[in-house]
Structure 1
Amino acid sequence: MKLTTNVKVSATLAAVFVVLLSVLLYTNRSPERTEVAATEDPATATVWTEEIRTLTEAPDAKVQLVEFLDFECESCRALYPVMERIRAEYAGRIDIGIRYFPIPSHTNSHLAARVVEAAARQGRLEPMYQRMYETQAQWGESSQSQEAVFRGFAQELGLDITAFERDIADRSVAERVDRDFDAGLALGVQGTPTLFLNGVELPPMPTYEELRARIDTALAQ
């Protein structure tokens, strides 16, 4: 009886240790890991959708490269030159789309996504997308709203400011961003940047050479 009790106590202590370890790992995750539960059904979530924002498109759409991104994410900024190089080399040969995945712990990430979406509604997706990464060091990681800074970007890019301000405050624009975020969670996205090539998630932070090799293989199939 005493032996059985000791075994039970040991098992209980082991279980408690596992739970505590899990909690410790969870609370010490990277700040670029999301803490929001998915609301979209994983069975119906798709990487490429009709409303996806595209940076380049191909006539045959044989290869589709999608990035789930956060404009305030430093890792996304680090990948940006690689993506720009890929975009220039494969312009007109592959589809490249972006989907918003603003990390909740980043104060201005959701606003930045709405700003880019508002610019896209005026046909200025590409320059605003570029402006966000090229200036990230100036406004990123701030605990204060950067709306005034983003409004300055809109003015510099020649956007209709009245329409721009209406759009970034429009609930439908926020919902558009949230749909991408929810789809990302349903697809298993856990942080940014996350790339998908023809619907298959790629290893994190690929080099230009690695990404090019995968694209060339897909084009050859």
Structure 2
Amino acid sequence: MKTPLKATLITAAVVAVLVVAALIYVLIDRSQTPASGDGSSPPEVLRESSHVLDDGGEGAVTVVEFLDFECEACGSFYPIVEDLREQFAGEITYVVRYFPLPGHFNSKNAALAAEAAAQQGRFEDMYHRLFETQEQWGEAQESHAALFRDYAAELGLDMAAYDAAVSDPATEERVRSDFEEGRALGVSSTPTFFVDGEIAELQEWDDLESAIQAAVNGGR
């Protein structure tokens, strides 16, 4: 074999080996990359930081809702959820996570208000207030952050602490991490419910109740 041809073939072989090695590295790197919103661990339906409205205790069915406070469908489900929380009291642990949709002007503002209230132990109070008043501010194309601040004042929150929390980048990051983890879990719309870690497929209004009832019965 002539030397130039031999050198060319060797060079081509080396390049091929390097390409294969690079591909293997990329595949391994991707397989080891966490899929969660914060990039630190695999996505989980329930986090220690998630807001628990009802704690059913050990053995209870866990229901997690990814919601947008401005979402009309979430507002429609709100009274259904409240009925189910009462119906299955002591049998379910009910958890709420943020999923503010980009198309809703005030969804993130509402989530920030709820998270700021949560830092004072008043998440559920703000949760109720936001859904009960959704018709007043939902679908608006201007900020209603001042209105949400009024709600905080009406709830008797420490307003200096509330203002500091709303403006703190860590509060926005807390909301964003829920959203990103929701996307990693397959959430694309609101409300999305997980019953014992599985997405509940909802076609009718009573499908959520049926999914919860089946999970409760399955644990007996």
TM-score, length of structure 1 as denominator length: 0.78
Is 1:210 paired with 2:190?
A: no
Asked if the contact 2:60–2:90 (Cα under 8 Å) also holds between the matched residues in 1, the reply is: no
% of aligned pairs identical? 43
List per-residue Cα deviations over 1:145-165 (Å, max 9, x = no partner): 101100110011111111011
Pairing partner for 1:191 from 167, 189, 192: 189
Output the CA distance in 2 between the equivalents of 1:205 and 1:86: 17
- Distance in 2 (alpha carbons) for counterparts of 1:60 and 1:75: 31
Q: C-alpha root-mean-square deviation of aligned residues, in Å?
A: 1.8
CA distance in 2: counterparts of 1:210 and 1:204, whole angstroms: 5
Query: Any conservation in 1 of the 2:152–2:159 contact (CA below 8 Å)?
Result: yes
Contact persistence 1:72–1:109 (CA under 8 A): yes
2:28 aligned partner: none
1:65 and 1:195 in contact (8 A); partners too: yes
Change (3 A) 1:140 1:205: farther
Correspondence for 1:141: 139
Residues 100-142 of structure 1: CA deviation (Å, up to 9, x unaligned): 0001111111110010011111111111101101101111111
Matches within 5 A, 1:167-186: 167-186=165-184
Gaps of 5+ in 1: 1-37
Cα gap change, 1:205/1:82 in structure 2, threshold over 3 Å: closer, same or farther?
Answer: farther
**What is the Cα deviation at residue 85 of structure 1?**
0.5
Report how far residue 62 of structure 1 moved. 2.8
For 1:127 and 1:206, how far apart are their aligned partners in 2? 28
**Which residue does the alignment assign to 2:20?**
none
Aligned partner (choices 60, 63, 66) of residue 62 of structure 1: 60
Partner of 1:160: 158
User: CA contact under 8 A between 1:65 and 1:198: conserved in structure 2?
Assistant: yes
Q: CA deviation at 1:88?
A: 1.5
- Alpha carbons 2:67, 2:192 under 8 Å: kept: yes
Distance 1:114 1:122 in 2: 13
Structure 2 vs 1, CA of residues 138 and 165 (structure 1 numbering), >3 Å: closer, same or farther? Answer: same
Query: Could you give the per-residue CA deviations for residues 22-41 of structure 1, whole angstroms, max 9, x where no partner exists?
Result: xxxxxxxxxxxxxxxx8566
Q: How does 1:37-48 map to 2 (within 5 A)?
A: 39=37, 44-48=42-46
Give 1:81's match in structure 2, choosing from 69, 79, 82.
79
Match of 2:33 in 1: none
Structure 1 contact 47–66 (Cα < 8 Å) conserved: yes
Contact 2:67/2:98 (8 A) holds in 1: yes
Distance 1:191 1:216 in 2: 23
Q: Secondary structure at the match of 2:52?
A: strand
1:98 partner letter: V
**1:24 matched residue in structure 2:** none
Does structure 1 retain, via aligned residues, the 8 Å contact 2:64–2:194?
yes
CA contact (8 A) 1:61 1:95 kept: no
Letter in 1 for 2:207: E
* CA apart distance, 1:212: 2.4
- Structure with max Cα Rg: 2
Which amino acid letter does the alignment assign opposite residue 100 of structure 1? Y
Task: Could you tell me which runs of 5 or more consecutive residues in structure 2 were left unpaired when the two chains were aligned.
Answer: 1-35
1:128 correspondence with 2:126: yes
1:14 is matched with: none
d(CA) in 1 for partners of 2:56 and 2:202?
25
